[in-house]
Amino acid sequence: MKSKLVFLSNFLHNPRQIAAVAPSSKYVINSVIDEIDFNNAKCIVEYGPGTGSITNEILRHLSHDAKLICLDVNQKFCKYLSKNIKNSRLAIINDSAVNIDIYLKKFKIKKIDYALSSIPFTFIKADDKKAIIRKTRDNLAKGGKFIVYQQYSLNLKKYLKLYFKKISTVLEVRNIPPTFIYKCEKS
């Protein structure tokens, strides 16, 4: 319950940074998690982990020698995660996803197996959207996936198509608000 209050409080304070009134539902979480091959994933990146509803689920399945890197521009979410999730496989970074390449170099990670994103692309400048998507694609391993769960709009698909050839889209209505889930694979 505390995580939902933290989430709602942050949404009310800055709706353009959060863009959802509640954490992802179990249906969105399951749809995202089902795409991950945890037996072979060595590095997963999560943009916009919020209060950690998907973060916790990833850590529950992640192998002992893998890494989860979470980037969020919201300092309150980063503090919340740091205080409530203690795990040596987790790195919490208070910064924009546009800087993912800097942190991959810092952690000496050559390729990402999966990148997950709940960041509100609707409110991000076009150049930054393109940079985040391009840098994600460039740092994904061959066959790696970029999974974006986004409310409100199908507008993001035109940006994803600039960098990914293989994209599928699902609408999960059992979420507040209903959520589009884009699954982009690097070929």
Residue 15 domain-assigned (yes or no): no
Residue 2 domain-assigned (yes or no): no
* Nearest-angstrom CA–CA distance, 110 and 71: 17
Residue 10 domain-assigned (yes or no): no
pTM (two decimals): 0.89
What CATH number has the domain bearing residue 143? 3.40.50.150
- What pLDDT digit, counting tens, does each position of 172-182 carry? 999 988 999 99
Residue 65 domain-assigned (yes or no): yes
Which pLDDT score is estimated for 22? 67
- What pLDDT digit, counting tens, does each position of 80-121 carry? 999 999 999 999 999 999 999 999 999 999 999 999 999 989
Q: Which domain holds residue 77?
A: 24-185
Percent of the chain with pLDDT over 70: 87
CA proximity to 67, closest of 38, 99, 35: 38
Residue 97 domain-assigned (yes or no): yes
Q: What is the domain count for the chain? A: 1
Mean residue pLDDT of the chain comes to 90
Residue 5 domain-assigned (yes or no): no
Which pLDDT score is estimated for 5? 45
Residue 75 domain-assigned (yes or no): yes
- What pLDDT digit, counting tens, does each position of 132-162 carry? 999 999 999 999 999 999 876 678 999 999 9
Binning pLDDT at 50, 70 and 90, where does residue 122 land? confident
- What pLDDT digit, counting tens, does each position of 31-86 carry? 999 999 999 999 999 999 999 999 999 999 999 999 999 999 999 999 999 999 99
Residue 17 domain-assigned (yes or no): no
Q: CA torsion 176→150→66→93, rounded to 10°?
A: -90
* Nearest-angstrom CA–CA distance, 70 and 97: 9
Q: Which two tokens stand for residue 96?
A: 């924009």
Q: Is the pLDDT of residue 4 over 70?
A: no
